[in-house]
Chains A and B, each alone.
Chain A
Amino acid sequence: MSYWIAFPAIIAAPVLGGLLHGADRVIRARMQSRKGPPLLQPFLDLLKLLEKRQFIVHSYHALLALAHMIVLWVSIGMLFFNSDLLMVIYFHLLATLLLVVAGYSVRSVFSNMGATRELVASLTYEPVFVLCVIALFTQYGTFQPAGILTSANPPLYTLPFIFFALLIALPVKLKKSPFDISEAHQEIIGGVEIEFSGFYKGVLLVSKWLDYVYVYSFLYLFSGGQLGLALAIFVGVFVLLAAVDNATARVTYGEMNRITLPLVIILVVINYVVLSIQRVAI
């Protein structure tokens, strides 16, 4: 991506993420035959949060939310600037760390438990992202998005099982049922987010949007830069995630690991076996 596209895209990333979040809320409501909030509801929420009186527990806790958002934004910026994908993933891990430290740093059971669950969740999705990148690498010979996006053969066709593995990890990353253990609104009231209010809750809301952008950027990689295919992937995944979110109940975190980890490993192994058979055949 040239700088002239990358810069505005980085600035616009939260807006795109916010729209995705809004659309997600609308489509989930429609699936339950509700009208649902307006499309721009997340932005209204953000504006509201900005004009509230600022409540904090202590300064370090509040500022860590800010650091979390900055690091997330940087990691997305690096993704758009055609950086090494593994670096992007580890920047993202740093963002998780900051949120976890924030979660632990207050005297709140829900926040502490949310932080612990955040860690367990990252055990589930981070390896999948890493495996994705390496699988892309073995197929396309580069760790940078540009090389993958310019190839003739989109990764979706060559690495379908890896794509399924990513699909399994997505609800964990985006905190959606059945794997929304780290947020778990009815259970631990938002987990790490619970002690943030006003501006700092708004910061976390923007972080959530950035997470959407991060995830959908990875999905975009699988389209190999073909816009039609990208659109199909986006719409398909979007509807699928909303449907699964509506249709399933939350599992415990032990169950989550027991379900996802073996599935992911099996899918990755299958994909590698298929690939190596193909290579031998050629």
Chain B
Amino acid sequence: MSRHSVRSPWLLHFNAGSCNGCDVEILACLAPKYDIERFGIVNTGNPIQADILLITGPITKRARERVVELYVQMPEPKVVIAVGACACTGGVFRGMYNVENGVDSFIPVDVYIPGCSAHPEQIIDGVVKSLGILAGKNKEMEFPTQLRGPVTIDRGQVDRRGLAGSVASLEKGCTNRGTEN
């Protein structure tokens, strides 16, 4: 159980191919009108100091490696919130050649916030819901559902630098190499 994370959740916001509609709404939450800092929430730009990952956008093929990388760089306990219709299911882009149809195809999602774009009130509601889930989690490691690489343990140190696998291993034989890095 993590009692204190609930009262000081720090956000990491990642745009995985969003049209910026949801991003603007998230920023509106931070601004004076909605002021989510009153819950102790801070928008950090840094995964290893964050508790909540807010993802907007349908996960384009360009973005998927980064999403997984950021996800594995967040220390447990952590929750993932998919903000907006695209992040939940792919939205209007669902089934297109360049998107991966939602966040949950790569990493486990705890809260879905629908809407195009999601209202600030909805986002706040979703974040508050996620706090309940966060409170129930512990320090156990969580893994991405795809693109998962090896974890090695060396002299009491868990080396998770390889935990986010690369797309190249996922798409062996695929001719479209444009997503590789």
Chains A and B share a contact (CB less than 8 Å): yes
Tell me the A residues contacting B by CB distance below 8 Å: 25, 29, 32-38, 41, 44-45, 47-48, 50-55, 185-186, 189-190, 194-198, 201
Report the separation of the CA atoms of residues A270 and B119 in the bound assembly, to the nearest whole angstrom.
57
A-B contact pairs, 23 of them (CB 8 A): A29-B35, A32-B32, A35-B38, A36-B35, A41-B8, A44-B7, A44-B40, A45-B10, A47-B8, A48-B2, A48-B8, A48-B51, A51-B139, A52-B51, A52-B76, A52-B77, A54-B75, A55-B48, A55-B73, A190-B45, A190-B49, A196-B48, A201-B49
Q: A38 and B40 in contact (CB under 8 A), knowing A44-B7, A53-B139?
A: yes
Report the separation of the CA atoms of residues A194 and B45 in the bound assembly, to the nearest whole angstrom.
9
Q: What is the minimal beta-carbon distance from A18 to any residue of chain B, in angstroms?
A: 13
Residues of chain B contacted by A54 (CB below 8 angstroms): 75
Q: Which 9 A-B pairs have the closest CB atoms?
A: A197-B48, A47-B4, A48-B8, A34-B35, A53-B75, A48-B4, A189-B45, A44-B8, A35-B38
In the complex, whether B105 has a CB less than 8 A from a CB of chain A is no
Residues of chain B contacted by A37 (CB below 8 angstroms): 37-40
Which residue of A41, A51, A189, A197 is within 8 Å of B40 (Cβ)? A41
CB nearest neighbor in A for B73: A55
Tell me the B residues contacting A by CB distance below 8 Å: 2-5, 7-10, 32, 35, 37-40, 42, 44-46, 48-49, 51, 73, 75-77, 139, 141
Residues of chain A contacted by B42 (CB below 8 angstroms): 45
User: B37 touching A48 by the CB < 8 A rule?
Assistant: no
Q: What is the minimal beta-carbon distance from B144 to any residue of chain A, in angstroms?
A: 16
Q: What is the minimal beta-carbon distance from A35 to any residue of chain B, in angstroms?
A: 4
User: A51 touching B2 by the CB < 8 A rule?
Assistant: yes
Report the separation of the CA atoms of residues A45 and B42 in the bound assembly, to the nearest whole angstrom.
10
Residues of chain B contacted by A186 (CB below 8 angstroms): 45
User: A194 touching B46 by the CB < 8 A rule?
Assistant: yes
Residues of chain B contacted by A53 (CB below 8 angstroms): 75-77, 139, 141
Which residue of A36, A48, A190 is within 8 Å of B38 (Cβ)? A36
Report the separation of the CA atoms of residues A34 and B51 in the bound assembly, to the nearest whole angstrom.
23
Which residue of A33, A41, A48, A190 is within 8 Å of B5 (Cβ)? A48
Q: What is the minimal beta-carbon distance from A106 to any residue of chain B, in angstroms?
A: 12
Residues of chain B contacted by A185 (CB below 8 angstroms): 44-45
A sample of 5 more A-B contacts (CB under 8 A), given A47-B8, A189-B44, A189-B45, is A29-B35, A36-B38, A51-B3, A51-B4, A185-B45
CB nearest neighbor in B for A197: B48
Residues of chain B contacted by A201 (CB below 8 angstroms): 49
CB nearest neighbor in A for B48: A197
Which residue of A32, A44, A197 is within 8 Å of B75 (Cβ)? A197
Report the separation of the CA atoms of residues A29 and B10 in the bound assembly, to the nearest whole angstrom.
17
User: A34 touching B40 by the CB < 8 A rule?
Assistant: no
Report the separation of the CA atoms of residues A7 and B44 in the bound assembly, to the nearest whole angstrom.
36
Report the separation of the CA atoms of residues A41 and B73 in the bound assembly, to the nearest whole angstrom.
25
Report the separation of the CA atoms of residues A48 and B8 in the bound assembly, to the nearest whole angstrom.
7
User: A34 touching B45 by the CB < 8 A rule?
Assistant: no
User: A34 touching B5 by the CB < 8 A rule?
Assistant: no
Residues of chain B contacted by A190 (CB below 8 angstroms): 44-46, 49
User: A55 touching B75 by the CB < 8 A rule?
Assistant: yes
Residues of chain A contacted by B9 (CB below 8 angstroms): 48
Residue among A47, A55, A186, A195 with the most chain B CB within 10 A?
Answer: A55
Which residue of B38, B46, B77 is within 8 Å of A34 (Cβ)? B38
User: A197 touching B8 by the CB < 8 A rule?
Assistant: no
Q: What is the minimal beta-carbon distance from A162 to any residue of chain B, in angstroms?
A: 36
Q: What is the minimal beta-carbon distance from B3 to any residue of chain A, in angstroms?
A: 8
User: A34 touching B48 by the CB < 8 A rule?
Assistant: no
CB nearest neighbor in A for B47: A197
Residues of chain B contacted by A33 (CB below 8 angstroms): 32
CB nearest neighbor in B for A185: B45
Q: What is the minimal beta-carbon distance from B130 to any residue of chain A, in angstroms?
A: 15
Report the separation of the CA atoms of residues A190 and B46 in the bound assembly, to the nearest whole angstrom.
9
